[in-house]
Amino acid sequence: MSDVSEATYHERTYGTETIGYGDRPAIVVVDFQTAFTEEKYPLGGAPLIDRAVDNAARLLDVARRCEVPVATCYTAYKSLEDMPYWKVRAVREDLIHGHPCTELDSRIYDPAYDVKMCKTGASIFFQTPIVPFLVKQKVDTVILVGCVTSGCIRASVIDSFQFGYRTIVPEDGVGDHDERPHNDNLRDVGRRYADITDTDSVIEWIEAWRGRNAP
């Protein structure tokens, strides 16, 4: 297989356009549950995910203050019978309703504000109420944070794109178990489906948006 460079992709016009923000944003939080955010569990303890939690918490504080809609999800199943064929043993053993691994991280989830939903696929858009929620809120821009970048974040980015949303991903607000798949997947979806930015830039935009739209 030939090594196609970034310059070659650019020459073929990948990533040459910026999507930009629309008029009505929402924050969509994917799988910041204790399975991934607490070191004591098999899937927890990844530095990039820890960093993402810290940055997402900052972003969510601003979003709630600015009255931006927030939807958050966790992954869980009733049993192995209703679970897809996951190749990750820790998912099969731990992501069962009632297990502590399915609880949302308290640094991220505000039960008084956020809309919570359970997902059973890779994407938050698969067989969940996320689209009716976004439609009801008149959202045109989805800002995605969460984990894991190479799995459920990538899947959610693609579905957000396919449902017609402007999709924004702060690189430091999503995380993976390893830096290489994190970077590779963000670079790839950034060529095609989403704008890749950083948490501080998203916060700055939300505060400016609120200033323009304050009652």
Active site residues: 152
Tell me the helix, strand and coil percentages in the chain, rounded to 5: 45, 20, 40
Element (H, E) at 68: none
Tokens 């090594």 sit on residue: 3
Rounded Cα–Cα distance for residues 99 and 148 (Å): 19
Q: Which residues pair with 70 in a beta bridge?
A: 27
**Are residues 70 and 30 in contact, defined by beta-carbon separation less than 8 angstroms?**
no
**Distance, C-alpha 105 to centroid of its chain:** 14
* DSSP-assigned beta bridge partners for residue 147: 175
Instruction: Tell me the residue length of the chain.
Output: 215
The Cα-based distances of 58 to 52, 62, 158 in angstroms read 10, 7, 25
Helix (H) / strand (E) element for 130: namely: helix 130-136
| 146 and 153 Cβ atoms separated by less than 8 Å | yes
Give Cα separations from 212 to 68, 69, 167, 202, 209 (angstroms).
Answer: 13, 17, 21, 15, 5
